[in-house]
């Protein structure tokens, strides 16, 4: 395993161009594959998560090829049609945005499919989605532990058009049902429990509408999607990754200024609202059509904030506590425990290495860095891209080392290249 050494940084300046959003890339790939017509995807993220989706789509018989920087997807115009005689095994790594949507789409396709992935993927829940698909008459078996991948799916037809799903563990279950809904003859999706990560559901609806779906909704309680084919929008430009942007924007709030290209005032991603959090903490932000600029806060303020709507961006706030006047307290983030690692436990362990005071519970973390050591520390990253990217912000406080920096390949393979380009 490689370890990356980062000398203490004193400032960030200049500009970066973001890779495409993971959430939009994997949604756009799947929708293009099942749409009528050919789609040219611009600024598609190239990372492990999207490679898993691309490889899966190819194994399912979809033609995808690169034309320069553009990914061309020849849509099949329906759910997948594979032979039921041969089991197709899809290794989806640790990509939630591949596992959950494919689980739903394959259960209404023709064929026999095994969905598997990394060891951690086998610990990430999928029960609420698969159980709700079963109530539609679809066939999903757990090959190992009930409620978790690997899954054996025998594609079939729904026998009803209304489904209940619990939204309190992952919004991806609702997004998965929404994406499959038009192709199974239409669906009313009733959400039980308190839906988390709501902006990702809005992102899904915006994208399926772009591909021609008709959606009506009652807030976040009930969604009705009409039957119909998806139709390719021909060309689709993937926005830059707003979650990936948060590290650079946070660094600027701490120590300089940055222009981030690829997101702007019209971004549809929930994590764009991290900029508002930075403003609350004292940073100055300027928003334009296709870029944002962030400037150092004269004094960075602590914050006590519910981050349920931005679970990924929330991680960026943790190391920011090293630079704030007052504590950083992040609440309503229970979903951290079932993501790439138990992110609350991992953050407590890594932040404690800095000698700061960390308090945590089932769904919150609080950091008081008014007392801390000044040691050079080595951070473990738990095969979690966001642990590696978040902890890089500690380099404005001291020399640090990051174990397994390569884990950023899940969503942002060149993260440390860009970080070194703009931070000195
Ligand atoms: O739908 C999506 O693209 C995502 C939804 C969120 O997951 P949860 O809904 O499980 O919180 C987020 O953390 C993940 O990185 C991407
Ligand atoms: C939770 C994440 O990923 P996934 O899409 O695998 O859920 C993430 O990117 O932080």
Domain edges within the chain: 3-19+239-422, 22-237
Closest CA to 376 of 1, 90, 8, 88: 8
Distance, in Å, from the CA atom of 228 to the CA atom of 329, rounded to the nearest integer, reads: 45
The reported pLDDT for the residue numbered 157 is 98
Q: Which two tokens stand for residue 28?
A: 């756009």
Kindly report, residue by residue over 185-210, the tens digit of the pLDDT: 999 999 999 999 999 999 999 999 99
Angle, helices 311-320/343-352, rounded to nearest 10 degrees: 10
CA–CA gap between residue 231 and residue 291 (Å, rounded): 30
d(CA 334, CA 174): 18
Residue 384 pLDDT greater than 90, yes or no: yes
Reported as a single tens digit per residue, the pLDDT across 28-81 is 999 999 999 999 999 999 999 999 999 999 999 999 999 999 999 999 999 999
Cα 156–chain centre separation = 29
Q: Whose CA is closest to atom 1 on ligand 2?
A: 339
CB of 95 within 6 A of ligand 2: the answer is yes
CATH number of 3-19+239-422: 3.65.10.10
Confidence of residue 213 (pLDDT cuts 50, 70, 90): very high
Distance 374 CA to ligand 1 centre (A): 35
The CA distance from 140 to 114, in Å, is 10
21 lines ligand 2 (CB under 6 A): no
Ligand 1 centroid to 147 CA: how many Å?
18
C-alpha of residue 177 to centroid of ligand 1, in Å: 14
> Domain 22-237's class?
alpha beta
Q: Is 197 annotated as a binding residue?
A: yes
Has 312 been annotated as catalytic?
yes
CA distance 162 to 51: 33
**Ligand having the closest approach to the CA of 175:** 1
What are the residues facing 250 on neighbouring strands?
A: none
Give the rounded percent of residues in the chain with a pLDDT score beyond 90: 100
173 lines ligand 1 (CB under 6 A): no
Average pLDDT rounded to a whole number, residues 304-312: 98
Contact between 118 and 149 under an 8 Å Cβ cutoff? The reply is no
Give the three-class secondary structure for 378: strand
CA 248 to centroid of ligand 2, rounded, Å: 19
Q: Tell me: the pLDDT tens digits for 124-173? A: 999 999 999 999 999 999 999 999 999 999 999 999 999 999 999 999 99
pLDDT of residue 1: 87
Q: Report yes or no: 389 and 365 within 8 Å, Cβ to Cβ.
A: no
3-19+239-422 shares its CATH topology with 22-237: yes
| CA pair distance 29, 44, nearest whole angstrom | 9
Choose one of 117, 339, 343 to mutate for the ligand 2 pocket test, by most ligand atoms within 8 angstroms of C-beta: 339
How, if at all, do strands 187-192 and 162-166 pair? parallel
23 labeled part of a ligand binding site? yes
* Residue 172 near ligand 1, beta carbon < 6 Å: yes
- Residue 159 CA to residue 137 CA, distance in Å, equals 6
Question: Which residue is catalytic, options 49, 241, 312, 404?
Answer: 312
Is the distance from the beta carbon of residue 386 to the nearest atom of ligand 2 less than 6 Å? yes
């Amino acid at each position: 395993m490689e370890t990356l050494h980062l000398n203490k940084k004193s400032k960030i300046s200049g500009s970066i161009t973001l890779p495409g959003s993971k959430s939009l890339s994997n949604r756009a790939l799947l929708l293009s594959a099942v749409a009528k017509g050919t789609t040219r995807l611009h600024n598609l993220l190239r990372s492990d998560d999207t490679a898993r989706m691309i490889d899966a789509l190819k194994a399912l018989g979809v033609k995808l090829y690169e034309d320069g920087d553009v990914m061309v997807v020849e849509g099949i115009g329906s759910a997948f049609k594979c032979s039921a005689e041969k089991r197709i095994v899809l290794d989806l790594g640790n990509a939630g945005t591949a596992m959950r949507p494919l689980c739903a789409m394959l259960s209404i396709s023709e064929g026999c499919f095994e969905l598997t992935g990394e060891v951690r993927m086998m610990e990430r829940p999928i029960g609420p989605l698969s159980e709700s698909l079963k109530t539609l008459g679809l066939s999903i078996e757990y090959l190992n532990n009930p409620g978790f991948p690997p899954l054996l799916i025998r594609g079939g037809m729904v026998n009803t058009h209304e489904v209940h799903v619990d939204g309190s563990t992952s919004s991806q279950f609702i997004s998965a049902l929404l994406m499959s809904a038009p192709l199974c003859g239409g669906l009313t999706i009733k959400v039980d429990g308190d839906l988390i990560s709501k902006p990702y559901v809005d992102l899904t609806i915006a994208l399926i509408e772009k591909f021609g779906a008709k959606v009506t909704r009652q807030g976040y309680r009930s969604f009705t999607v009409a039957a119909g084919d998806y139709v390719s929008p021909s060309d689709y430009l993937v926005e830059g990754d707003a979650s990936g942007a948060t590290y650079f924007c946070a660094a600027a709030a701490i120590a300089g200024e940055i222009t981030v290209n690829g997101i702007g005032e019209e971004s549809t991603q929930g994590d764009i609202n991290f900029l508002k959090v930075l403003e609350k903490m004292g940073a100055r932000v300027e928003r334009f059509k296709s870029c944002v600029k962030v400037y150092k806060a004269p004094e960075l303020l602590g914050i006590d904030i519910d981050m349920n709507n931005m679970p990924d961006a929330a991680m960026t706030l943790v190391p920011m506590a090293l630079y704030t006047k007052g504590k950083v307290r992040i609440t309503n983030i229970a979903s951290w425990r079932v993501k790439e690692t138990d992110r609350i436990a991992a953050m407590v362990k890594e932040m404690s290495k800095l000698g700061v005071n960390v308090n945590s519970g089932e769904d919150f973390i609080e950091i008081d860095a008014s007392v801390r050591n000044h040691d050079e520390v080595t951070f473990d990253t738990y095969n979690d891209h966001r642990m590696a990217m978040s902890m890089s912000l500690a380099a404005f406080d001291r020399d640090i080392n990051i174990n397994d920096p390569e884990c950023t390949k899940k969503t942002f393979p060149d993260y440390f290249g860009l970080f070194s380009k703009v931070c000195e």
